[in-house]
Structure 1
């Protein structure tokens, strides 16, 4: 008889958490491809710094070129597709090795870890670090995604820690 052990439950929880992150990535991708303009507008306003309270001392950082806005937005979309695909593959790999040895299950975590690292790059490095610290996004009343990005990082980063822990037997 196959019983649900704590070890098995831990493995399943890792698969499920990766599925959550994959699902989020799919929704973000669908939004970006079906409503390109709304997020492009956000990126353009942040890069232009036209809605911030930035002092004249840092306005040299503003990027006003629509061509560069589109290229940066496509870079972000490419990174979002990359992390989503890696997370989907990671979810599949974890599920595929759910009954394997502890060593094999641990090795199956590679794509999940890579996907989460790319997601952290987008939401922490690009939005929270570059957006806030370089483009002064947090002073914009209408185009501030600092808290939104922080909530994503607050979920994804602990999941990465949990996924990478080698607690399975």
Structure 2
């Protein structure tokens, strides 16, 4: 009889949690491709700093070129596609190695770890650090993604730690 051990449950939980974050990435990609104008407008307002408090000491930071808005938005979309692809591959490799020895399962985590690191770059560095600290996104009542990005980071970072830990036997 096949018994569900704690070790097996831990392995399955890593696969399931990676599937969750992969699904999130797919939803974000779908939104970016099917509603490009709305999401582009969001990025444009953040980069232009046109809805933040007027501060002459900081206004030099604003990027007002629509061409640059499109390029930066496509850079973000590209990173989201790449992180989602790595997370999907990571989910697949973890699932494929669910019954392998601990060392093999641990090595199967590579794609998942890379995907989560890229995702953290997008949502922590790009949105929380650059968006909030450089472009003062948090001062905008309308175009503020700081809390949204923080919730994603609050899931991704502990997930990265959990995935990377070698606790399987």
The bucket for the TM-score relative to the shorter chain is over 0.9
- Once the two structures are superposed, the pairs formed by residues 34-113 of structure 1 within 5 Å of their partners are 34-113=34-113
1:17 aligns with 2:20: no
Looking at structure 2, the residues matched to 26 and 150 of structure 1 have their Cα atoms a distance apart, in angstroms, of 19
Tell me the equivalent position of 1:33.
33
Following superposition, the deviation at residue 2 of structure 1 comes to: 1.2
Following superposition, the deviation at residue 54 of structure 1 comes to: 4.2
TM-score (norm 1): 0.99
Deviations 1:67-93 (A, max 9, x none): 000000000000000000000000000
> Is the 1:54–1:136 contact (alpha carbons within 8 Å) kept by the matching residues of 2?
no
> Is the 1:19–1:88 contact (alpha carbons within 8 Å) kept by the matching residues of 2?
yes
- Aligned positions, number: 169
Tell me the equivalent position of 2:143.
143
Tell me the equivalent position of 1:115.
115
Looking at structure 2, the residues matched to 53 and 122 of structure 1 have their Cα atoms a distance apart, in angstroms, of 25
Tell me the equivalent position of 2:160.
160
Looking at structure 1, the residues matched to 35 and 165 of structure 2 have their Cα atoms a distance apart, in angstroms, of 38
Secondary structure, in 3 states, of the residue corresponding to 1:90?
helix
> Is the 1:18–1:91 contact (alpha carbons within 8 Å) kept by the matching residues of 2?
yes
Which blocks of at least 5 consecutive residues in structure 1 are unaligned? none
Secondary structure, in 3 states, of the residue corresponding to 1:28?
helix
Looking at structure 2, the residues matched to 54 and 84 of structure 1 have their Cα atoms a distance apart, in angstroms, of 37
Which blocks of at least 5 consecutive residues in structure 2 are unaligned? none
Looking at structure 2, the residues matched to 54 and 46 of structure 1 have their Cα atoms a distance apart, in angstroms, of 14
Following superposition, the deviation at residue 7 of structure 1 comes to: 0.1
Looking at structure 1, the residues matched to 141 and 40 of structure 2 have their Cα atoms a distance apart, in angstroms, of 17
Alpha-carbon spacing, 1:90–1:54, altered in 2? closer, same or farther (3 Å)? farther
